[in-house]
Amino acid sequence: MARIVKDPEIRRTEIIDIAEELFLKSGYNETAVSDIVKRVGVSQGTFYYYFKSKEDILNAIIERYIDDIKVGVKAIAAKDDINAIEKIMAFFGFLNNMDQGKEKLIDYFHEDQNVHLHAKFEKNVPSNIIPPLCLMIEEGVQEELFDTKNPEMAALSIIGTTFAISHWMYDKEDRAGSTKKIMAAIFDLIERILGAEPGKFMKYAMKMEEAK
């Protein structure tokens, strides 16, 4: 039987897909390169043709994750059938959904020895999501929902605040039970940063929950 030769980009994507699946299922440390190539059906030589190491493929997964966030947030900012508050709510809902099912990788990023991976993520994500978030805030000012003189700094403050709260709560034992507390705190601070009516975001959150 003739050997099937795939387009290099297709093969690379296939390896990334399988590696991410195994990392999420078993954990990064528990997954060996041999596990990945066995699932893909290629040799280890093929793996190392595309990736220098297991960490190199993890970096590729992080970069794709960041790209997905960038595309998703831009799409929310471009919507013309919802107001600025609804867009920001959708923005946070989107980010939360992106994390679902990725707990094993997130746990790995938070280990002390992986601070460089965590730093890479936190360096690149804000630069990709602040511009569209800034557009949402500017729209809110035009709609007279927000009262802030510097939308860009407001967007930066919101992202920084969200990251800080999320990190502080991350190590709490009852993560699921902490979600509502986290969101309530974030909404309160966002309203203060944006000069929005107190409780406005929570009202929208309750409406969205009732509409489900």
In terms of phi and psi (left: phi > 0; alpha: psi -120 to 50; beta: otherwise), the region of 196 is beta
212 residues of the chain, pLDDT tens digit each: 345 556 888 899 999 999 999 988 888 888 999 999 999 999 999 999 999 999 999 889 888 888 888 999 999 999 999 999 999 999 988 887 877 767 667 777 667 666 667 677 777 788 889 999 999 999 999 999 999 999 999 999 999 888 777 766 655 555 555 667 777 888 899 999 999 999 998 888 887 777 66
Q: Are 62 and 128 in contact (CB under 8 A)?
A: no
Q: Would you kindly state where each structural domain of the chain is located, as residue ranges?
A: 1-51, 62-211
Q: Which of 177, 199, 175, 176 is nearest to 187 (CA)?
A: 199
**What is the CATH code of the structural domain delimited by 62-211?**
1.10.357
Q: What confidence score (pLDDT) does residue 178 get?
A: 60
Q: What confidence score (pLDDT) does residue 29 get?
A: 86
The span from the CA of 148 to the CA of 1, in Å, is: 67
> What global pTM score does this model have?
0.80
The span from the CA of 200 to the CA of 207, in Å, is: 11
1-51 and 62-211 share one fold: no
Q: What confidence score (pLDDT) does residue 167 get?
A: 66
The span from the CA of 75 to the CA of 142, in Å, is: 20
Q: Which of 19, 116, 112, 100 is nearest to 64 (CA)?
A: 19
**What is the CATH code of the structural domain delimited by 1-51?**
1.10.10.60
Neighbours of 210 (CB within 10 A): 7
Start-end of H helices in 27-150: 33-40, 44-50, 54-77, 84-99, 103-109, 115-142
Q: Are 15 and 42 in contact (CB under 8 A)?
A: yes
Q: What confidence score (pLDDT) does residue 204 get?
A: 83
